[in-house]
Amino acid sequence: MKIFFSAGEPSGDLHAANLMRALRARLPGAEFVGYGGPEMAEAGCQLHADLTALAVMWFLRAMLNLHKFLALVGRADRYFRHVRPDAVVLVDYPGFNWWIARRAKAHGIPVFYYAPPQIWAWASWRVKKMRRYVDHVLCSLPFEETWFRQHGCNATFVGHPYFDEVRRQELDQAFLDHQMARGGRLVTILPGSRTQEVEHNLRWFLRAAARVHEAVPDTRFAVASFKPHQAELARRMIKSSGLPAEVFLRRTPELIELAECCMAVSGSVSLELLHHTRPTVVLYWINRIAYFVQSWFRKVKYITLVNLLTSDELFPDDVTPYDPKQPGAERVLFPEYLTCEDRSHQVAEHVIEWLMDEDRRRRTVAELVKLKVRVGHGGASRMAADYMLKVLSGGKRPVPRPHFLPGMAVKSSGGHRRLAMARLLAFTVLAIAAPGRVVAQAEERSGEVRFRPTAEEPQVPELFRLPAHTFAFRQVPQTTVAKSYDVFEVTFPSPVETPHSNNNTVHCEYFRPHGSGKHPAVIVLHILGGDFNLSRLFSRQLAADGVAALFLKLPYYGPRRQPGEKARMISENPRETVAGMRQGILDIRRGVAWLAAQHEVDADRLGVFGISLGGITSALAVSIEPRLASACLMLAGGDVARVAWDDPKMARLRERWLADGGTKEEFFDLWKKIDPVTYAERARGKPILMLNAAHDEIIPRACTESLWHALGEPEIVWYEAGHISAIRYLLDGLGRVSRFFAEPGAHRNPR
């Protein structure tokens, strides 16, 4: 039996490893593969990647690593297709694991979610994903089974796996003896297992520790670090603070056992603190934007598991963060501060109280003992293993219905406008510099490419025809993503010479995939607003999945427009727009010739992809350029002139056109020259995928349907969104586009 695991957090790595041991004890021949960390590797898992190295929090951090996550999803998808493991086990880490679940479900592989994410607390709408993509939810907390079952999921309570780990821990007695011999009372600081948690929270803990040290001078402080670089970071911060504190690596259980009380970042470590019954004050500091965003999503009052387990009501009306002045605050076992401000004074007050008031500390310990007896039992790994093997030994599995079908609408649940806008806000700051490092092994390259018209050139519309010619290019290495792809800057002259010198050079970014053999290749075009980050994101995903991508900047965009330059590709003057679109298509034709000349590119598998303006231009390009074998058009449409003329928002343009002596017929004739519907019949028979918004306020549905009919009604997906809010389907779009172009043997030009 072969089981695929995916765990991204250090704690998930630990839980997965313990489950593997329990499974192997019952089934010695079991094989484990997948994504995880060092604990899983030690338990005998064949790791495809160390996912714990990418453990991140908050949407922006995740977006900056999105190309890496998507590459791993693509790799898992190929593994599921070719190897077909008997089961997939997911451990927490929902942002990534939803995609693993989705791909496993598409291949008919049963999915188990062990230690599922606490979506009941912060993202209850995601239960739809759990219901759709996960076959078995193995719940960690007593109330979770009821909650998931009420929401239509197949859920079973097995217990929290953290208690399995703490029960099997063997403390280093020599270390304990040495520390106890030093005297003084110890306060242990637990700043988190993620580096960003340490960066955000340790400074406040050190400020609190300074207050404690001033009030109780004989107190010692120890910082428990999870990774070596986090320990070094802690030492630097302690040195600058002047506080007498020590840093220990991988000594968390011992330091908790030694402590009189603790200061900790919120997380599963709270269950370890419960096991040791140590009074603890919890802090989780985030920036103001993140604090604002979390207030939309959080449905529970407490962020600490121990406090949730003692709460009278899981979903109270009042979900404002803990305040020691609130009624009933004295019953909260672990005072907690979810904050974007300095709460070091309040944190210190709790620690000082426990150190100076022994009765108060004993009462807290007694309450923790009661809770530990009630919920702190082990056996989660054993129960989960028994459940899994019982299910998997039940005979042949039916293959489920695919998770999406061509042309079916992808719908969103209502009330998520705030989520879409939060994602959109984060996405606007997405592409800080492209990830990777400067390419050392590649050299700058210059040369010439021969544009050779195909036998179909005489049928190319005269406006877009090019004769045989040679053009120069320059290729400069920029970055590389290890074992995935390289990025180069590529420039070549435009076939059209304009009065604006900057615009006469075409600027591209070439994402060249690693690996031997010939790769399919795609021209990638950008949106009307000129935001290049979205196009780079798609280019990275394509390259990560083995598709070469040439991101081409259209006329008068980016470096092709001087500061203050008024000329635009899309102008209020229709004649200037026709000239700009013509230049864009001719630039693309040279880009296609450049791609076809690259030794790593399969010249018979060239495609084009674009969004919004890029989608419209892509529709035009696939109809004009014979070498383009396929196209993916996102938020694109045709028959634009008819809509533009009738749109009230275009009244000023229409009035100016008429005032200058133009007629409606001339307006339509001009736009017809660059409308993809005009030439769409030339693209019929080529594989085309359209991804569109059902409520598009920029490209009306009538425009999309006009283009769809003209192209011969190719595959189309309607997102339940508008032009801007379609950003919520970004991950779905990335996956569809990449699969469309990467599918082996697909979309080959029959020339």
Amino acid of residue 736: R
Q: Are strands 548-552 and 505-513 parallel, antiparallel or unpaired?
A: antiparallel
Q: Pick the more confident residue, 392 or 746.
A: 392
Give pLDDT, residue 415.
Answer: 41
Give pLDDT, residue 62.
Answer: 45
Region 569-588: mean pLDDT is 89
Region 453-476: mean pLDDT is 95
- The CA dihedral of 425, 428, 432, 436, to the nearest 10 degrees, is 90
Compute the distance between CA of residue 117 and CA of residue 545 in angstroms, rounded to an integer: 28
At 229 the three-state DSSP class reads helix
Residue holding tokens 């719908």?
Answer: 411
| Residue partners of 723: CB distance under 8 A and separation at least 6 | 612, 635, 693, 696, 697, 698, 699
- For 288, left (φ over 0), alpha (ψ -120 to 50), or beta? alpha
Region 557-570: mean pLDDT is 83
| Residue partners of 628: CB distance under 8 A and separation at least 6 | 523, 592, 606, 607, 608, 621, 622, 686, 749
Give residue 619's Cα distance to chain centre.
Answer: 28
Compute the distance between CA of residue 221 and CA of residue 665 in angstroms, rounded to an integer: 82
pTM for the predicted model, two decimal places:
0.50
Given CA atoms 40, 13, 734, 428 in this order, what sign does their dihedral have? negative
pLDDT tens digits for 97-151? 999 999 999 999 999 999 998 888 776 778 889 999 999 999 998 888 988 999 9
Which one, of 521, 620, 638, lies nearest residue 580 by Cα? 620
Beta-sheet strands, E only, within 66-162: 87-91, 111-114, 136-139, 155-157
DSSP letter for 205, please: H
Q: Pick the more confident residue, 751 or 125.
A: 125
Lowest pLDDT segment from 1-5, 288-292, 614-618? 288-292
DSSP letter for 268, please: T
Q: Pick the more confident residue, 603 or 142.
A: 603
Burial grade of 161 (CB within 10 A; 0-12, 13-18, 19 or more)? buried
Which one, of 276, 266, 261, lies nearest residue 368 by Cα? 276
Helix (H) or strand (E) holding 492: strand 485-493
Q: Pick the more confident residue, 648 or 282.
A: 282
Q: Pick the more confident residue, 530 or 188.
A: 188
- Whether 465 has a pLDDT exceeding 80, the answer reads yes
* Backbone dihedral angles phi then psi of residue 182, each to the nearest 5 degrees: -80, -15
Compute the distance between CA of residue 549 and CA of residue 521 in angstroms, rounded to an integer: 6
At 227 the three-state DSSP class reads coil
- Quickly state the pLDDT bin for 583 (edges 50, 70, 90): very high
User: Contact at 8 Å (CB) between 136 and 361?
Assistant: no
- Whether 61 has a pLDDT exceeding 50, the answer reads no
Compute the distance between CA of residue 341 and CA of residue 295 in angstroms, rounded to an integer: 15
Amino acid of residue 355: L
* Exposure of 282 in the CB half-sphere (CA atoms within 13 A): 26
Vertex 748 angle, CA 746 and 751, to 5°: 165
- Quickly state the pLDDT bin for 530 (edges 50, 70, 90): low
Give pLDDT, residue 413.
Answer: 37
Vertex 707 angle, CA 702 and 712, to 5°: 125
For the chain, the average pLDDT equals: 86
Compute the distance between CA of residue 632 and CA of residue 492 in angstroms, rounded to an integer: 25
Region 300-305: mean pLDDT is 85
DSSP letter for 725, please: G
pLDDT tens digits for 228-270? 999 999 999 999 888 989 999 999 999 999 999 999 999 888 9
Residue holding tokens 């948690």?
Answer: 197
Q: Are strands 185-190 and 261-265 parallel, antiparallel or unpaired?
A: parallel
Give pLDDT, residue 416.
Answer: 44
Bridge partners of 187, per DSSP, are 221, 261
Give pLDDT, residue 439.
Answer: 44
Question: Between the CA of residue 145 and those of 118, 137, 304, 418, what are the distances in Å?
Answer: 12, 8, 19, 29
Give pLDDT, residue 65.
Answer: 54
Give pLDDT, residue 570.
Answer: 81
User: Contact at 8 Å (CB) between 24 and 64?
Assistant: no
Percent of the chain with pLDDT over 90: 58
- Whether 311 has a pLDDT exceeding 90, the answer reads no
Give pLDDT, residue 442.
Answer: 58
User: Contact at 8 Å (CB) between 164 and 185?
Assistant: no
Lowest pLDDT segment from 45-54, 61-70, 646-655, 678-687? 61-70
pLDDT tens digits for 381-395? 999 999 999 999 874
Helix (H) or strand (E) holding 186: strand 185-190
Which one, of 342, 524, 577, 537, lies nearest residue 434 by Cα? 537
- The CA dihedral of 85, 87, 92, 93, to the nearest 10 degrees, is 30
Lowest pLDDT segment from 34-43, 367-376, 417-426? 417-426
Compute the distance between CA of residue 393 and CA of residue 384 in angstroms, rounded to an integer: 14
* Exposure of 100 in the CB half-sphere (CA atoms within 13 A): 28
Give pLDDT, residue 666.
Answer: 82
pLDDT tens digits for 481-492? 767 899 999 999
User: Contact at 8 Å (CB) between 434 and 458?
Assistant: no
Sheet containing strand 601-611, edge to edge, reads 445-451, 469-481, 485-493, 505-513, 548-552, 519-525, 601-611, 628-634, 688-693, 715-719
Compute the distance between CA of residue 401 and CA of residue 565 in angstroms, rounded to an integer: 54
Give pLDDT, residue 67.
Answer: 66
Sheet containing strand 336-339, edge to edge, reads 245-249, 219-225, 185-190, 261-265, 280-285, 336-339
Give residue 479's Cα distance to chain centre.
Answer: 21
User: Contact at 8 Å (CB) between 230 and 55?
Assistant: no
pLDDT tens digits for 670-722? 888 999 999 999 999 999 999 999 988 788 888 899 999 999 999 999 998 88
Give pLDDT, residue 168.
Answer: 77
Neighbours of 166 (CB within 10 A): 18
Give pLDDT, residue 482.
Answer: 66
Residue holding tokens 């790593």?
Answer: 600
Q: Pick the more confident residue, 748 or 529.
A: 529
- Whether 35 has a pLDDT exceeding 50, the answer reads yes
Give pLDDT, residue 414.
Answer: 39
Give pLDDT, residue 51.
Answer: 85
Provide the residue count of the chain: 751
- Quickly state the pLDDT bin for 747 (edges 50, 70, 90): low
At how many degrees (to 10) do helices 66-82 and 730-742 cross?
Answer: 50
- Whether 567 has a pLDDT exceeding 90, the answer reads no
